[in-house]
Chain A
Amino acid sequence: MGNAIMRPVITGARYFLTHCSGLMRYGSKPAREISRKPALLGEIASHLRTHEQSIGYAPNRVFLGSMHPDELRSIPRPWYSRNEAAERRQPHGEVMPEEEFYGILKLSDDFDLLWLEESFLAGVREALSRHPLIDASELDRLGDGTAAAAIEKQTADAAKALPLHLPDGRLVGCVNRAHDEDDALTAPVILENLACKGSAAMALRTLLHDGQLDPGGIDYVINCGEEAVGERYQRGGGNLAKAIGEMCGLDNATGSDLKAFCCGPVHALVMAASLVSAGVFRRVAVVAGCSLAKLGMKFQSHLAAQQPIIEDTLAAVAILVGPDDGVNPILRLDSIGRHNIGAGSSQQAIFEKLIAEPLRRCGLRFEQIDKYATELHNPEATEPSGSGDVPARNYRLIGALAALRNEIDRSDIQRFAETHGMPGFSPTQGHIASAVPFLGQAVDLLRDGRMQRAMFLAKGSLFLGRMTQMSDGMSFILERNEPCG
């Protein structure tokens, strides 16, 4: 028996966006502020975008593979004022309208916790009947809906149910709490978890569809979304992975959840690649659903800037890792960068561990990485609140590290940042925005030879959970598939 190590490849990445301005009121920040000042609902309503505007928004078109990230540099800011006509379905995924996403939430709900009003549901069924990723049996599973009077009665008691609205305020349904006394199963928690499940399932269905993949050929699913699924005795018990796999017909797979804040997807990809390389599983899907809590996270600064509220879109991703096929890019398991516990949490220490050390180990120079994919948050969402351009700041730091190592001149840091970085374009959806938004494009570019290698690095804010002051980080190099020599 030979000892050859199986090289793992990424065969594709697909995404899912849904424009959810009606649900924005249940983002963590809007919900808190609206409860203090109900008049904010009106202000929010006057700063919402339409589904069509979301489809044509340049950062969303980059996210879905219609444009290379660098093309954003030639579009003057503000990007929200320069929407192009675009199709809902783009190369790497779609922007689903909110009405249909309510239907996806209903399909994600195995316990009849989410009720949709009869006439509204009829319209949703009609719309979803034209969706290529929804089959007829699922339309039946949507049921007949709930009478408007019953929804109004249920939502009259805020402790029992959370009303679901469209952006114009129309009440179209509700989410019920799943247990009278369990704080881990309240209506807001159920809504967040259903949104995470449904959006991840749609990303995975897109991946299966576009890759013409047999769902039965996937052995394992790793979910790295950030939502905590469980009840009071095991809050965060997890395995949303298996629920997502079930929704996508992965009958031969099992799965588990991997939690690492925004760093989760990169950890998950390293785990998936290791499982494939070791021959434990042949094909592993990595999925991550949306973060409903982050809708409207910086809405106050957007209102103050008199701009549309940019954080109106939920995002999800699905990635498939498989054995070397001679075509798709290799996830180099000898290139893993990790922020070890003793490394210290300064930015320099983190980037040393995630970038400089693996490059040195692989015998590569900073400039031999065509593109670094790091925190890719859209600056149009973050700048109004004073958080600045997060990707640009990260790229300057990577350039500075290259200069510190005498690989580039100090005067070249900005050029390095522009050449080897990219403008931010991802919705501020936490783990979704960290490195993986570029993965779909990187697979295409590496496959057809327009790029030789890219590095993916993500950071996690572990300190937010108050269990440690530490940060986290993980990285890998994705390389064009060349024959072993």
Chain B
Amino acid sequence: MELSGKKVIAIGERDGVQGTSIGNCARSAGATVVLEMTHCFV
């Protein structure tokens, strides 16, 4: 997936991958992270 120049909403999960980690990955691939948060689904 080409993320360079794209805007990304990064929603992570407490028992999975955190939002900050997803956001950092997206940034390193050239995306602009417009929202980054982690949720707890239990």
Query: What residues make up the interface of A, taking CB atoms closer than 8 Å to B?
Result: 262, 345-347, 375, 377, 382, 385, 387, 390, 393-394, 428, 430, 433, 459, 461, 463-464, 469, 471
Contacts and interface: CB of A to CB of B under 8 A. Distances in A.
Nearest to B13: A387
Interface in B11-42: 14-21, 37-42
B16 A393 contact: yes
Contact of B20 (A375, A459, A469): A469
A469 B19 CA distance: 9
Which of A346, A377, A382, A461 has its CB near the most chain B CB atoms (within 10 A)?
Answer: A461
A338 B32 CA distance: 34
Interface of B: 14-21, 37-42
A375 B21 contact: no
Nearest to A298: B41
A390 B15 contact: yes
B18 A433 contact: no
B35 to A, nearest CB: 13
Contacts of B21: 345-346
B37 A377 contact: no
A345 B18 contact: yes
A345 B42 contact: no
Contacts of A464: 39-40
Contact of A461 (B17, B20, B38): B38
B17 A347 contact: yes
B32 to A, nearest CB: 18
Contacts of A377: 42
A471 B18 contact: yes
Which of A347, A377, A385 has its CB near the most chain B CB atoms (within 10 A)?
Answer: A347
B40 A461 contact: yes
B11 to A, nearest CB: 12
Given A377-B42, A428-B42, A461-B38, A393 B15 contact: yes
B15 to A, nearest CB: 5
B42 A463 contact: no
A377 B14 CA distance: 14
A433 B20 CA distance: 25
Contacts of B17: 346-347
B23 to A, nearest CB: 10
A469 B41 CA distance: 16
Given A347-B16, A347-B17, 6 more contacts: A262-B40, A345-B38, A346-B18, A375-B15, A459-B14, A469-B20
A461 B14 contact: yes
A411 to B, nearest CB: 23
Contacts of A428: 42
Contacts of A347: 15-18
Given A382-B42, A390-B42, A463 B37 contact: yes
B16 A385 contact: no
Contact of A385 (B14, B19, B41): B41
Nearest to A393: B15
A273 B31 CA distance: 48
A129 B21 CA distance: 56
A469 B20 CA distance: 8
A461 B39 CA distance: 8
Given A345-B20, A346-B21, A469 B15 contact: no
A345 B17 CA distance: 9
A471 B42 contact: no
Contacts of B42: 375, 377, 382, 387, 390, 428, 430, 433
